[in-house]
Amino acid sequence: MKYRHYLIPNSFTYIKILVKEGWPNRETGKKGDPMIQFLEFKMLQDVFENYAKKLSVLLDIKDLNTNFISKLNAVFQSNKGNNSVVFDILELETEIKQVEKQTQTDRIEENTSAVLFDDEIPDETVVFSEDFSDDEDLNIEQTIAEAETTIEETKVITRISLPSRKLKINISHELLMELEKMEVDFRLN
């Protein structure tokens, strides 16, 4: 097997295969087992650079300022290449809702008259017989306490997609790490 050096434990490997129908048997006419042909093996980090075509940068309109834009431009200028960039400018609205849960009490009583299981063993020993007597009713109350929680919802009010005609970048691990350091949201397509 010429690809065995890619089969390393605890590593991610991209495998491209082709599954072909099996050859028909001349005597019975049935098709045989499918055949698997391995076309391509790559390490996953190598596939990333080959198959990534577009970088979508998601920006909140409140976060845009000249200092941030100049830093972002410097990062893109240092990673020039052939892949396109799309800027998605979002206007977000955050709503905070307070939800109250009500107190709920359930009362559970033991019904000793109903037989649940009819598989009594004549010589069985009684365990924990002193804890409960047959004459007492078992009353259990379950209480769910009041809780006040806040839920934060973010809604997109306006979204503008701006594909860049001039800016072309090379999508690499270093570029993505720099964008993460700048706390920029992005997607790869």
Q: State the Cα–Cα distance between residues 84 and 69, nearest whole angstrom.
A: 18
pLDDT score for 135: 52
Q: State the Cα–Cα distance between residues 178 and 161, nearest whole angstrom.
A: 22
Beta-carbon neighbour count of residue 152 at 10 Å?
8
- Residue 28 falls in which region: left (phi positive, over 0), alpha (psi -120 to 50) or beta: alpha
Name the percent of the chain in helix, strand, coil, to the closest 5: 20, 45, 35
pLDDT tens for the chain, 189 residues long, are 788 888 888 888 889 999 998 888 888 888 888 999 989 888 887 887 778 889 999 999 988 999 999 999 999 999 999 999 999 999 888 888 877 765 555 555 555 555 555 555 555 555 554 555 555 555 555 555 566 788 888 888 889 999 999 999 998 888 989 999 999 999 987
The answer to whether 36 and 19 have CB atoms below 8 angstroms apart is: yes
